[in-house]
Structure 1
Amino acid sequence: MSPKRTFGGSGTGWLTSGAPRTLSGGTKKVWLNGKVRASLDTSAPLVGAPAAGQAGHTGKGVTVAVLDTGIDGERPALHGKVANAKDFTGGGSPADKAGHGTHVASTIAGSGSKYRGIAPDARLAVGKMPGGNGEGQFDDLIAGMQWAAAEVKAKVVNMSVGGFPSDGTDPLSMTLNTLSRKHNTLFVVAAGEFGKHTVRTPASADAALAVGNITRAGQVNERSSTGPRLDDGAVKPEISAPGTGIVAARAAGTGAGEEVEQHYVRKSGTSMAAPHVAGGAAILAGLHPGWSAERLKSALVGSATPLPEANVYYAVGSGKLDVHRAVTTAVRASTASVHTFLPWGGKPVQEQEVTYENTGSAAVTLALDLKLASAKLSATTVTVPANGNAKVRIAFGRGTPGEHGGVLSASTVDGKVVVRTPVSVAIEAEMYDLTPTMLDRGGKPGARGSVDVINLETGARHRTGAGAKLRLPAGKYMISAMITTGETSITTVAFPEFTLTKTSTVTRDARKANRVVVGTDRPSVRGGGVVTQVGARRPGYNTRPQMQLLFADPRLTALRRHRLGRQHRGADDHPGLPDQWVR
């Protein structure tokens, strides 16, 4: 007989007629591990948007700017939603040829009975940033940010775009901080899709509300960029929202994603998570039009719902967006997150303060809990008076070097009030400042060139210019420099082993180098390039030779090199690593 096809749950399988009805071990039925997907009709309830809407909070009167690939305003979900639109790509139209921006805008404010946006009554201002290939320039994005905050005066700006992983000091991040402070604008930014420890700019900005991507089941999407932030270990992202398999409007003529019905498409990413939070911010701003951007951010982060996974503060911040809780709670924290950096040699203890405000008519007593070994609370409970505030201090002390974090939870006994504040501390290991300087062939300081510093134990490499300060772990380093004098003299200076045990300045002097003549078998050939190899060898460890290619001026006739310090030599070692010349 032919196989009989049967369906069960979310899986599809084949059973053959006459096959035993019971499997080995007594198993009677096998279910495939089917995929769980979210749509706006399922993700919006997950973040409490319908409950907020039933109470009359729909974002009415609030302008949300969307800086993205443009918009198809003729889609049924977006018809009549766009109040302002501007193209920043030079294409002359804000029309969405990629489909990304339309999907994002629909998630924020789309209408419809099924795939309804988070804040369906919000107005949209659309700035078309990248071109149809999804790539753009920083200056375009900065112009769009300025337009959204200063000209359109959007209360909330959604940016499901960004650049490289950053420590928050890059131009995009600094511009965001300035605009948020000057115009009181909350920028909600997708964290990115780079994996661990890679929150991108401008989500890395202090003032940005960075958003991570979780699944319908509340698990961190494996591609979602997580923190903490580069260099200082600050909390990023601060909050998370559903961003996996989100169904929202599809721009006409676009094919990216999985088409669902005629006008909708399924997409995934932090780009899809961020507009959930931007919609939540619009709802909160509609309820509290006088609130500052920082206050909106703190209220959203503080009202988030905890997620089941342990130790995920660096991936999801305080938890999952909960719009209904954000608009109904009367107790909030004054800050979205708390971060402290304890440098080596600095104060052994530093304190931060968290202020709780209560806009309700009755005092509220909160039990405080923070599971963080290097932090100590000034109290285990705090009572916040009606229409008043109360402060709690967190003392951070030195512990195991590294980046550590958790969530400060403040809750009432009945659990009706819960305020969550992500907390992080970066404890620096034994580190010192190293400042390399250069003297050219004439003995003049401030020579042009580059410096490479290589840790002989780990192989970590740092490149900088003369006079630039490096913060490095205590240990042994090889230091090499290429020093340029005038237009025709290049000098290589190598220090095979330098031990860093205190703040130090190391000067490389080109005058001490020996002259190495560059020659070929054809004297008439004067152009070409020069490759210099510099390395260090010691018992048990050899650095990888460092290659530096210089496209030489035809007038260049010689190199000079100099080795500083003692040289370790093994059984297979030789006196030095030779310079090489190539045409």
Structure 2
Amino acid sequence: MTPQTTGKYLILFREDSVAEGVQLLSETFTTSSSDTLTFGELGVAVVAVDPTQLSSLNIASPDSPILAVEPEQVLYALQDVTPEGAIVSVSVDYLRGYRDAVTTLSDSLISSDQSQAEAVIDESAVTWGLQATEVTQSKYSGAGIKVAVLDTGFDLTHPDFLGRNVTAKSFVEGQDVQDGNGHGTHCIGTACGSKTPGVLPLYGIAYNAEIYAGKVLSNEGSGTDSQILQGIEWAIANGCDIISMSLGAATQPGQSYSRIYEAIAKRALKRGTLIVAAAGNESNRSAGIIRPVGRPANCPSILAVAAIDVQLQVASFSTQGINPKGGQIDIAAPGVKVRSSWILPLHYRTISGTSMATPHVAGIAALHAEATGLRGQELWNLLAKSAQRLPLPSVDVGAGLVQAP
């Protein structure tokens, strides 16, 4: 699949030459201020120019303040998928026919050989994901930690979050931060949901963390690099310790990572901010299809999260670290049949995806940050060191299943 681009370009400046780089752009291109967006904290600009003009920047020169140029892309909230890896989109007639065809077979299989995991895991009080990651045994709550979730926004009216310290901002033109999709509210719920939800089971991890809800994806579930970068800069400027991004775009085998997102993530780590991102849902392992980690999770300095199911097996849809340059899986978390908060009037919903695994890691990172005072790369190292090793390839689950302190 060819990446969808916007016609604009991302320009990466040397960290010590941002002002010089901005000056070079103004001298090289005849653009209005509305055609250029500069992120001083990140050392990046987004410009709308004719691609033939880019060669005049001479970025190959060792004296150039510009390190890289890339087309601006569109990213997406990773869609809800079934445990088998297929996107949920079938007709009612098909479902009825399928039901009739398998009724006899399913009745014969429901016996003492039924899935032991489903029989053992009781979610009446706590979701299986919080149980598997030892959140229920932790004495930490994320107090004093700032967690930014960059997604489709947040349902500010959700009763489970009334009274919480929530800072919210929209970077989507024409749409306020109120979540009209549900994806963002679900992710925030897992990372930072209430200790006393209106309806059990308990689904939230860092229930005392400060929530920063950045709307970087529209209510339709898509957004541009510009919007994502605005959200990242906002989170860093506000001193957020962890940034959770359940978004991305598919990559191809052999494709390298974005130099610009890599530089941003590396600079964020040096400032003490850990960026966690979903590895992607493009695989369908039951059909023998395994796809590489998506953008921007494939950057070496972004913590890429794979999804596992209740039996601690890699989810069929979860991508794999198959690209040689970057693109590794760093850690795994519960991502199949995950219950969390949803936009009203539904309140709660159970869905699957690496999108659901990512906020598990973000929330648990907040607990470790509170417990140890570690930030940035040291916090990353601790998450990897404390993960539960799994009898699965590291290309699928990285260091293993994330564990709470």
Same fold (TM over 0.5): yes
Alignment-mate amino acid for residue 296 of structure 2: P
Q: Say whether residues 1:176 and 2:265 are aligned partners.
A: yes
**Other-structure match for 1:276:** 360
Q: Say whether residues 1:81 and 2:81 are aligned partners.
A: no
SS of aligned partner of 1:136: strand
Q: What's the offset of the Cα at 1:85?
A: 0.7
Q: What's the offset of the Cα at 1:292?
A: 3.1
What aligned pairs does 1:272-421 form with structure 2 within 5 A after superposition? 272-289=356-373, 291-309=374-392, 312-324=393-405
CA distance in 2, matches of 1:173, 1:313: 21
Q: Say whether residues 1:126 and 2:213 are aligned partners.
A: yes
Contact 1:235 1:317 in 2 (8 A): no
Q: What's the offset of the Cα at 1:13?
A: 7.2
What aligned pairs does 1:102-117 form with structure 2 within 5 A after superposition? 102-111=185-194, 112=196, 114-117=201-204
**Other-structure match for 1:167:** 256
SS of aligned partner of 1:102: helix
Contact 1:44 1:50 in 2 (8 A): yes
CA distance in 2, matches of 1:187, 1:137: 18
Q: What's the offset of the Cα at 1:314?
A: 0.2
Rate the CA distance shift 1:91–1:34 in 2: closer, same or farther, 3 A: farther
CA distance in 2, matches of 1:33, 1:294: 39
Contact 1:168 1:174 in 2 (8 A): no
Contact 2:331 2:401 in 1 (8 A): yes
CA distance in 1, matches of 2:223, 2:151: 10
SS of aligned partner of 2:162: coil
Q: What's the offset of the Cα at 1:263?
A: 1.8
CA distance in 2, matches of 1:211, 1:246: 15
Rate the CA distance shift 1:92–1:132 in 2: closer, same or farther, 3 A: closer
**Other-structure match for 2:88:** none
* Aligned partner (choices 208, 215, 218) of residue 302 of structure 2: 208
Question: Between Structure 1 and Structure 2, how many residues are aligned?
Answer: 287
Q: What is the RMSD computed on CA atoms of the aligned residues? A: 2.9
Contact 1:97 1:251 in 2 (8 A): yes
Larger radius of gyration, structure 1 or 2?
A: 1
Q: What's the offset of the Cα at 1:14?
A: 10
CA distance in 2, matches of 1:206, 1:29: 46
Contact 2:257 2:327 in 1 (8 A): no
What aligned pairs does 1:481-500 form with structure 2 within 5 A after superposition? none
Q: Say whether residues 1:199 and 2:293 are aligned partners.
A: yes
Alignment-mate amino acid for residue 236 of structure 2: A
Rate the CA distance shift 1:149–1:29 in 2: closer, same or farther, 3 A: closer
Question: Which structure carries more relative contact order (alpha carbon 8 Å, separation 6+)?
Answer: 2
1:470-497 Cα shifts (integer Å, max 9, x gaps): xxxxxxxxxxxxxxxxxxxxxxxxxxxx
Q: With structure 1 as the length reference, what TM-score do the two structures score?
A: 0.46
CA distance in 2, matches of 1:316, 1:28: 31
Rate the CA distance shift 1:305–1:147 in 2: closer, same or farther, 3 A: same
Q: With structure 2 as the length reference, what TM-score do the two structures score?
A: 0.65
Rate the CA distance shift 1:222–1:73 in 2: closer, same or farther, 3 A: same
1:12-64 Cα shifts (integer Å, max 9, x gaps): 97999xxxxxx9xxx99675669948965221011011111xx3x11011110
Contact 1:155 1:185 in 2 (8 A): yes
Alignment-mate amino acid for residue 269 of structure 2: S
**Other-structure match for 1:548:** none
CA distance in 1, matches of 2:369, 2:150: 19
SS of aligned partner of 2:160: coil
Q: What's the offset of the Cα at 1:73?
A: 2.2
Q: Say whether residues 1:42 and 2:132 are aligned partners.
A: no
Rate the CA distance shift 1:35–1:231 in 2: closer, same or farther, 3 A: same
CA distance in 2, matches of 1:153, 1:29: 53
SS of aligned partner of 1:211: strand
**Other-structure match for 1:227:** 321
1:171-191 Cα shifts (integer Å, max 9, x gaps): 33332222332x210011111
SS of aligned partner of 2:188: helix
**Other-structure match for 1:69:** 152
Structure 1 gap segments, 5+ residues each:
1-10, 17-22, 254-261, 325-583
CA distance in 2, matches of 1:314, 1:28: 34
**Other-structure match for 2:286:** none
CA distance in 2, matches of 1:34, 1:136: 41
CA distance in 2, matches of 1:77, 1:246: 17
Q: Say whether residues 1:249 and 2:337 are aligned partners.
A: no
SS of aligned partner of 1:308: coil
SS of aligned partner of 1:77: helix
Contact 2:209 2:366 in 1 (8 A): yes
Q: What's the offset of the Cα at 1:126?
A: 0.6
**Other-structure match for 2:70:** none
Bigger strand fraction: 1
1:63-95 Cα shifts (integer Å, max 9, x gaps): 100000000022122223342111000124100
**Other-structure match for 2:47:** none
CA distance in 1, matches of 2:231, 2:340: 24
CA distance in 2, matches of 1:211, 1:31: 32
Alignment-mate amino acid for residue 184 of structure 1: G
CA distance in 1, matches of 2:110, 2:213: 55
91-100 vs 160-169, which deviates more? 160-169
Bigger helix fraction: 2
Identity %: 30
1:442-482 Cα shifts (integer Å, max 9, x gaps): xxxxxxxxxxxxxxxxxxxxxxxxxxxxxxxxxxxxxxxxx
Contact 2:191 2:360 in 1 (8 A): yes
Alignment-mate amino acid for residue 225 of structure 1: T
1:299-349 Cα shifts (integer Å, max 9, x gaps): 00111112233xx1001001101113xxxxxxxxxxxxxxxxxxxxxxxxx
